[in-house]
Structure 1
Amino acid sequence: MTSAQEAVATCYERVRAVARPEIWITLRDRDDALAAAHAVDAKARAGAVLPLAGTTVAVKDNIDVAGLPTTAGAPGVRHTPATSAETVRLLEEAGAVVVGKTNLDQFATGLVGTRTPYGTPASASDPTLVAGGSSSGSALAVALGLVDLALGTDTAGSGRVPAAFNHIVGVKPTLGMLPSTGVYPASPSYDTVSVFARTLTTAGRAMEVMASGPASRPWQRHARLSATRGRVGVVDGEVLALVDEDWAAAYLASVEAVAAAGFEPVEVGMAPLLDAAKLLYEGALLAERAYAFGDVLAELGPAADPTVAGIVLPARDFAAVDLVRDQQKLLSARSSAARTLAPLDALLLPTAPGHPSLADVGADPVGVNSRIGTFTNFVNLLDLSALAVPAAGSTSRSPAGVILVGRAHDDLVLADVAARAGLTDALPPDQFWGAPCRELVVLGAHRTGQPLNHQLTDAGARFLGTVRTAPAYRMARLDTTPPKPAIWKAATGGASITGELWALTPDGLLDFLGQLAAPMAITPVTLSDGREVLGFTCEPGALETAEDITAHGDWIAYLTSTT
Structure 2
Amino acid sequence: MQKTIMPERLTVGWLQEQYRSGTITPEEVMAEIIRRSEADVDMNIWITPPSMEMIRPYLEWLKTTDPSDCALWGIPFAIKDNIDLAGAPTTAACPDFSYTPDEHAVVVERLLAAGAIPIGKTNLDQFATGLVGTRSPYGETHNALRSELISGGSSSGSAVAVARGQAVFALGTDTAGSGRVPAALNGLVGYKPSLGAWPVKGVVPACESLDCVTVFATELTDAYTVDAVARGYHAEDVWSRRLPAPNAAMPSRLLLPVEPPSFYGPFAAEYEAAWVRAVQRLKAIDIPVQYVDTNVFAAAAALLYEGPWVAERWAGLKSFIEANPGSTHPITEQIVRAGAEQYSAASLFSGIHQLQRYKREALELLRDAVVVLPTAGGTWTREQVRDNPLASNRDMGRYTNHCNLLDLCAVAVPAGLAAEDLPFGITLFGTAEQEGLIRGVAERFAGERELIGTNDVVTDIQSTSASNESGTSAVEVPAAMMRVAVCGLHMRGFPLEQQMQGCGAHFVEETYTAARYRLLELATTPAKPGLIKLPEGGASIALEVWEMPVAAFGGFTAAIPAPLGIGKVELADGTEVSGFICEAYAEQTAIDITAWGGWRAYQNQRSSVTS
TM above 0.5: yes
2:174–2:214: 8 Å Cα contact kept in structure 1?
A: yes
The one-letter code of the counterpart of 1:10 is E
1:43 aligns with 2:90: no
CA change 1:393–1:115 in 2 (3 A) is closer
Following superposition of structure 1 onto structure 2, how do residues 346-425 of structure 1 map, counting pairs within 5 Å? 346-393=370-417, 397-422=421-446
Offset, 1:272: 1.6
2:84–2:105: 8 Å Cα contact kept in structure 1?
A: yes
Query: Residue 333 of structure 1 is aligned with which of 358, 361, 371?
Result: 358
1:90 aligns with 2:110: yes
What secondary structure sits across from 1:377 in the alignment?
Answer: coil
Query: Residue 251 of structure 1 is aligned with which of 275, 295, 304?
Result: 275
1:196 aligns with 2:216: yes
1:5–1:54: 8 Å Cα contact kept in structure 2?
A: no
Offset, 1:175: 0.1
The one-letter code of the counterpart of 1:144 is R
What does the per-residue CA deviation read over 1:460-509, in whole Å, with 9 as the maximum and x for residues that have no partner? xxxxxxxxxxxxxxxxxxxxxxxxxxxxxxxxxxxxxxxxxxxxxxxxxx
Q: Aligned equivalents of 2:168 and 2:386: distance in 1?
A: 32
What does the per-residue CA deviation read over 1:112-132, in whole Å, with 9 as the maximum and x for residues that have no partner? 111110011111111111000
2:263–2:271: 8 Å Cα contact kept in structure 1?
A: no
Following superposition of structure 1 onto structure 2, how do residues 471-482 of structure 1 map, counting pairs within 5 Å? none
CA change 1:394–1:314 in 2 (3 A) is closer
1:8–1:37: 8 Å Cα contact kept in structure 2?
A: no
Q: Aligned equivalents of 1:425 and 1:62: distance in 2?
A: 35
Q: Aligned equivalents of 2:106 and 2:194: distance in 1?
A: 17
Following superposition of structure 1 onto structure 2, how do residues 73-472 of structure 1 map, counting pairs within 5 Å? 73-212=93-232, 214=234, 216-219=240-243, 225-240=247-262, 244-317=268-341, 318-344=343-369, 346-393=370-417, 397-422=421-446
Offset, 1:209: 0.6
How many equivalent pairs are there? 422
Query: Residue 4 of structure 1 is aligned with which of 15, 26, 33?
Result: 26
Q: Aligned equivalents of 1:425 and 1:160: distance in 2?
A: 23
Offset, 1:102: 0.5
User: Corresponding residue for 1:466?
Assistant: none
Q: Aligned equivalents of 1:10 and 1:395: distance in 2?
A: 30
What secondary structure sits across from 2:403 in the alignment?
Answer: helix
CA change 1:234–1:399 in 2 (3 A) is same
Q: Aligned equivalents of 2:59 and 2:344: distance in 1?
A: 52
What secondary structure sits across from 2:153 in the alignment?
Answer: coil
What does the per-residue CA deviation read over 1:85-117, in whole Å, with 9 as the maximum and x for residues that have no partner? 000011111111111000000100000111110
The one-letter code of the counterpart of 1:349 is L
CA change 1:199–1:48 in 2 (3 A) is closer
- Which shifted more, 171-180 or 14-23? 14-23
2:162–2:168: 8 Å Cα contact kept in structure 1?
A: yes
Following superposition of structure 1 onto structure 2, how do residues 462-541 of structure 1 map, counting pairs within 5 Å? none
Q: Aligned equivalents of 1:426 and 1:404: distance in 2?
A: 21
CA change 1:209–1:157 in 2 (3 A) is same
- Which shifted more, 196-205 or 145-154? 196-205
Q: Aligned equivalents of 2:246 and 2:84: distance in 1?
A: 32
CA change 1:179–1:208 in 2 (3 A) is same
Offset, 1:50: 1.1
Q: Aligned equivalents of 2:189 and 2:449: distance in 1?
A: 10
User: Corresponding residue for 1:487?
Assistant: none
What secondary structure sits across from 1:189 in the alignment?
Answer: coil
Query: Residue 51 of structure 2 is aligned with which of 3, 26, 29?
Result: 29
State the structure with more CA Rg.
1
User: Corresponding residue for 2:556?
Assistant: none
RMSD: 2.1
Q: Aligned equivalents of 2:255 and 2:404: distance in 1?
A: 18
Q: Aligned equivalents of 1:417 and 1:169: distance in 2?
A: 13
1:257–1:392: 8 Å Cα contact kept in structure 2?
A: no
Q: Aligned equivalents of 1:52 and 1:103: distance in 2?
A: 24
2:93–2:138: 8 Å Cα contact kept in structure 1?
A: yes
2:255–2:290: 8 Å Cα contact kept in structure 1?
A: yes
Q: Aligned equivalents of 2:378 and 2:447: distance in 1?
A: 19
Q: Aligned equivalents of 1:395 and 1:193: distance in 2?
A: 31
Q: Aligned equivalents of 1:309 and 1:218: distance in 2?
A: 35
Q: Aligned equivalents of 1:423 and 1:169: distance in 2?
A: 13
What does the per-residue CA deviation read over 1:29-69, in whole Å, with 9 as the maximum and x for residues that have no partner? 3133133113213312xx76111012001100000000000
Given the two structures, how large is their TM-score scaled by the length of structure 2? 0.66
The one-letter code of the counterpart of 1:139 is A
1:26–1:102: 8 Å Cα contact kept in structure 2?
A: yes
Offset, 1:425: 6.3
Which structure 1 residue ranges, 4+ long, deviate > 6 Å from structure 2?
none
Q: Aligned equivalents of 1:130 and 1:242: distance in 2?
A: 14
2:264–2:395: 8 Å Cα contact kept in structure 1?
A: no
Q: Aligned equivalents of 1:94 and 1:8: distance in 2?
A: 17
The one-letter code of the counterpart of 1:229 is P
Offset, 1:185: 0.3
Q: Aligned equivalents of 2:141 and 2:41: distance in 1?
A: 12
Offset, 1:401: 1.0
What secondary structure sits across from 1:303 in the alignment?
Answer: coil
The one-letter code of the counterpart of 2:339 is A
CA change 1:396–1:388 in 2 (3 A) is farther
CA change 1:18–1:258 in 2 (3 A) is same
The one-letter code of the counterpart of 1:247 is Y
Offset, 1:258: 1.6
Offset, 1:302: 1.8
User: Corresponding residue for 1:54?
Assistant: 74
5+ residue gaps in structure 1? Answer: 428-563
Given the two structures, how large is their TM-score scaled by the length of structure 1? 0.72
1:8–1:34: 8 Å Cα contact kept in structure 2?
A: no
Offset, 1:168: 0.5
2:128–2:206: 8 Å Cα contact kept in structure 1?
A: yes
2:414–2:424: 8 Å Cα contact kept in structure 1?
A: yes
Q: Aligned equivalents of 1:189 and 1:76: distance in 2?
A: 25
1:7–1:55: 8 Å Cα contact kept in structure 2?
A: no
